[in-house]
């Protein structure tokens, strides 16, 4: 049985937990994380949902899930990445990119700049059937084909990652030589 902390609309804990699958009352929320692992080439590690999952079987998506009772967003991020694909998150290279407030959850979108070898992934077969690196263009194509989850924030995410990459590139020096 999976328990979630319950929050109010201001993301303050209300002092109770909810059982996954039993729903929340109006005005109650829980925390969800989406984890976007980005390698040094700017590609994203995506996963194909297992055929046996209830929601969106055989659809490509990012790693994610709900924070458990007593767990903060960063801990949920690290745990979900390890549980689903066997990758230990380098949280020193992680950042909370933004949060979407939805009907019953606060969805925290994490970016982790970490290159890994696909061969090192250990998939949770009940949840994930395959992983691969994909460029933003490949992900857009998959969304258009209906084979990738259509995250409404995807273009904003791609823009953030691209801006981060631009800022981290060395800049040419101009002016006089010293």
What would the 3-class secondary structure string for 33-61 be? EEEEEECCCCCEEEEEECCCCCCCCCCEE
Across residues 63-88, what is the average pLDDT? Answer: 98
Across residues 154-161, what is the average pLDDT? Answer: 96
State residue 71's pLDDT score: 98
Percent composition of the chain: helix, strand, coil (DSSP 3-state, to 5): 25, 35, 40
* DSSP-based three-state secondary structure for 155: helix
6 vs 23, higher pLDDT: 6
Across residues 90-108, what is the average pLDDT? Answer: 97
* Reported confidence tier of residue 176, pLDDT bands at 50, 70, 90: very low
State residue 173's pLDDT score: 43
What's the CATH number for 31-64+71-166? Answer: 3.90.79.10
State residue 177's pLDDT score: 41
24-to-14, 99, 102, 114, 141 alpha-carbon distances in Å:
12, 19, 13, 35, 35
Residues of the chain above pLDDT 70, percent:
94
Reference 66, options 121, 122, 22; nearest CA is: 22
pTM over 0.85: yes
Across residues 137-145, what is the average pLDDT? Answer: 98
């Amino acid at each position: 049985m999976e328990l979630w902390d319950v929050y109010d609309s201001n993301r303050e804990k209300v002092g109770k937990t909810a059982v996954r699958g039993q729903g929340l009352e109006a005005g109650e929320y829980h925390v969800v994380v989406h984890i976007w692992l980005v390698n040094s080439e700017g590609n994203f590690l995506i996963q194909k949902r297992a055929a046996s999952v209830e929601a969106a079987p055989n659809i490509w998506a990012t790693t994610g899930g709900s924070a458990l009772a007593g767990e903060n967003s960063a801990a949920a991020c690290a745990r979900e990445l390890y549980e689903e694909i066997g990758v230990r998150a380098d949280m020193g290279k992680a950042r909370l990119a933004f949060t979407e407030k939805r009907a019953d959850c606060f969805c925290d979108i994490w970016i982790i700049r970490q290159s890994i070898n696909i061969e090192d992934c250990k998939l949770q077969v009940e949840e994930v059937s395959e992983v691969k690196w994909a460029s933003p263009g490949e992900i857009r194509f998959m969304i258009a084909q209906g084979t990738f989850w259509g995250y409404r924030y995807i273009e904003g995410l791609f823009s953030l990652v691209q801006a981060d990459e631009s800022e981290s590139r060395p800049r040419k020096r101009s002016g006089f030589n010293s």
